[in-house]
Amino acid sequence: MTENKTIPEIYGTMVFNDRVMRERLPKDVYKAVHKTIENNSHLELDVANSVAAVMKEWAIEHGATHFTHWFQPMTGLTAEKHDGFISPEPDGTVIMDFSGKELVKGEPDASSFPSGGLRATFEARGYTAWDPSSPAFIKDGSLYIPTAFCSYGGEALDKKTPLLRSMTALNNEAVKVLNLIGLKDVTRVTATIGSEQEYFLVSKDLYKKRKDLLFTGRTLIGANAPKGQEMEDHYFGVLKPKVSAYMHDLDEELWKLGVPVKTKHNEVAPAQHELAPVFETANIAVDHNQLTMEVMKKVADKHNYACLLHEKPFEGINGSGKHNNWSLSTNTGINLLKPGKHPGENLPFLTFLVAVIAAVDEYADLLRVSVASPGNDHRLGGNEAPPAIISMFVGDELEHFLKSVEEGTVFSGEGKRQMEMGAEVLPHFTKDNTDRNRTSPFAFTGNKFEFRMPGSALSVANPNIFLNTAVAETLSHISAALAGTPEGEVREKLMAVLREMYIRHKRILFGGNGYTDEWVEEAARRGLDNLQSLPDAMPHWISEKSIDLLVKHGIFTEKEIFSRYDILLENYAKTIHIESLTMQDMVQKDFFEGLISYEKDLTQAAAQKASLLPGIGCAMEKTVIKALDTAADAIVAALEKLQADTETAEGKEDLLECAKYYQSVVLADMEALRAVVDGAEKMIPDDYLPYPTYSKLLFSLR
C-alpha cells in the first residue's frame, strides 16, 4: 500500500464523498445536498456556494490547483476543460476562489463535439451541469466535477443526461407497481450496475511500432502466432510478476478515487486480463467505468505497457467485452431480483422477473442498438461472445417456476441443494439454483441479470439507458392493469397479468448453445431479430416503436433521437474509413518493405549459391520467391480494389447507405487484403518486417 497505508486508509482519499461532506459541510447544507441526491431535486445557489467553498478548501489541501467539469460527450470518451482556482487581486497577488456558480455550471464549446445536427458550427454555446449524485474527485492536480452536457437549447449532447432520465423513469414506474402490490413503504427503486472490464496489455515499445494499433486500436494485418489460446492455459493462470505489479498499482489508483474494484485475473486469450468492481448506483457506476478505462491506460503507460480496450485487437483469439451486471434495489433494502428461499411466494421478484423478460423481448432491437459499434461488430457471434441475436437465459429452476405461473399451478422448487464433490475432506456448500450459460446475451445469474453483449471500449451508459427504459415501460403496463383493483383482489389480478405477459414474451427464453447454426434457425422461427452489424441495427433506433418509448418516458426528444442516429452512423463510417487508410498505408509502406527486402536477399543468396556450387540447385529459394511473387500480385490487386471502393464510399452522402457500403464492401475488401497479406507474412522472417508480429505482441509480457 502507498506509504504503508492500509486499503481502508487510502480508499476514497481523493473523493469528495458523503463522509467528507458530512464532516465538513454545515449540517443544514449537508442535509440540503443529501435531500437533492435522494429526491432528485434542484440545489439552491446559496447551498451550492457553501458546497463550493468547502470543496475548494478540501481540493487545495489535496494538491489541486484547478477544477474541471468532467462530462461524457458522444465521442465515446470523456471531456474536460481545466480552470485554475486563482483570482488576481489589484495588488498583484492572487486568491484561490471557487463559487457555487462555477460548481453548478460550465460552458464548453458545444459546436466542437458530435451533435448530429443539433448545433451548427457557428453555434458554439453549450453547458455542463453538476451532477451532485456522483461525487467529485481529484486527479492529476485538478478537482473533477461529474457533469451533464447539453446544448444552448437544452438538448442532451452526452450520455449522462439520458441515463439519469432513464433512472428516474424506472424509479417512478417501479415504485408505483410496488406500492400497488402492497409494499407501501417503498419510495425509491435504484438501478445498480457492476461492469466487468476486459482488456489486453502489450509492450508499449512494440505498440508504438504498429500503425494500426496507434490509429485504430486493432491490428489490421498480422498472421496468427503458432500458439494462441488453444491450450486454455492463460485463463485464471498465474499472474506474471510485472503484470501483477501493474494490477496492484491500478487497484491502488482506483481505490483512491473511490472505485470499488474487487476482482482481477487473466482472461482466455494470451495477454488478456479482466477487472471487476462491486455494484454501485447506475450513474456512479458509469462514471467509475469511464474513469477506470482512463486510469488503466495511464497506469499501463507507467509500466511500459499499452492497454488495449478495442473489442477485437487481434484476429484468431478472443476479443474483449464488458459484462453489464444489472439489478434493482429499494430504499427499504430489498433486491428485487433475488428469488429468496421461496420464489413462488416472492411476489415482487416474480413481478420484476416477468417485467424484465417482457422488456428484453419487446425491445431486443434497442438493446442490440445499445451495444452496436464498429469494434463490437467484430466480436459478437464468435465463440467468445454472445451472438447478435438477443435471448435470455434463466436456468432450469426459474423455467420450472415460470412454467407453474403459466399453468396456474403451485411451484414446489427444491431450493438450493448441497454440493457433493465425492471427497469427504472438502467443505459442504450449497450450489446455485442454475448453471451459467456463457453463450447467452442476457442471463440471470442468481440475483441479477448479466448483459454480456457490451464491448470493452463501450460506455455502459447506452445499454443501461435502454434497459431501464424498457423495464419502466413494461412496469407501466402492469400498474395500468392493476389500477383500481380492490386491495384484496390485487394478487389474483397481478398473477393473471403476469401470466399473460409471460406467455406473450416467453419466446425470448433460450437455455441452449447460442453459437450453433440450429439456434440461428430456431431464433428466426421465433421471430427474433439477428442484427449482425450497426448498419443493420440502426433503422430500429428510429422506428416508430422506439421513438414512442423514448419520448413517452422523457429519455430523448425526437430531435435528440435522430441526432444520435446520425452521430452513430457517421462515427461508424469514419472509423472504417480510418481503418482502410491505415491498412493501405501499412501494406504499401511497411509490409512491402519487408517482402521486397526478403525477396532481394533470397535472390542474392540463390545467385551466390549457384556461383559457388554450380551443381547444386536453388529449388527452395525459387519456390519461396515464386510464392511471394504470386502473393504480391494478389496483394496489389486487393489493395487497388480497397482503394477504389474506399473512394466510392467517401462520395456517398446518405449516412445509412454510406455505413452499409463500408460494412458490406470496404470491410470485405479489408478482409480479403488481410488474408493474402497474412498468408505472405507467414513466409517472411520476423526480422524483415518493420512492425512486431503477433508472436512478439502477445507473448512479450514478463
pLDDT of residue 695: 94
The pLDDT of residue 238: 86
- CB count within 10 Å of CB 656 equals 17
CA distance 220 to 312: 10
Residues contacting 612, CB < 8 A, separation 6+: none
d(CA 350, CA 359): 14
Q: How many CB atoms lie within 10 A of CB 624?
A: 16
Where do the CATH 1.20.120.1560 domains begin and end in the chain? Answer: 571-698
Which fold, 571-698?
A: Four Helix Bundle (Hemerythrin (Met), subunit A) (1.20.120)
165 neighbors 176 (Cβ within 8 angstroms): no
Residue intervals of the chain classified under CATH 3.30.590.10 are: 197-220+231-320
| pLDDT at residue 615, rounded to an integer | 63
Burial category of 663 from C-beta neighbours within 10 Å (exposed 0-12, middle 13-18, buried 19 and up): buried
Count how many residues are written for the chain: 702
pLDDT at 341: 83
pLDDT score of 631: 95
How far separated are the first and last CA of the chain, in Å rounded? 23
pLDDT computed for residue 437 by the predictor = 67
Q: How far apart are CA 618 and CA 614, in angstroms?
A: 10
Q: Give φ, ψ of 494 to 5 degrees.
A: -60, -45
Predicted pLDDT of residue 418: 58
2-157 under CATH 3.10.20.70, yes or no: yes
CATH 3.30.590.10 fits 197-220+231-320, yes or no: yes
User: Is residue 678 classed exposed, middle or buried when 0-12, 13-18 and 19+ CB atoms within 10 A define those classes?
Assistant: middle
- Give the model's pLDDT for residue 123: 64
**428 Cβ partners below 8 Å, 6+ apart?**
418, 419
Output the DSSP codes for 283-340.
Answer: HHHHHHHHHHHHHHHHHHHHTTEEEE--S-SSTTS---B--EEEEEEETTS-BTT---
Residues in the chain with pLDDT values less than 50: none
Name beta bridge partners: 525: none
pTM of structure: 0.93
Distance CA 221, CA 210 (A): 10
Assess contact for 377 and 664: CB atoms under 8 A. no
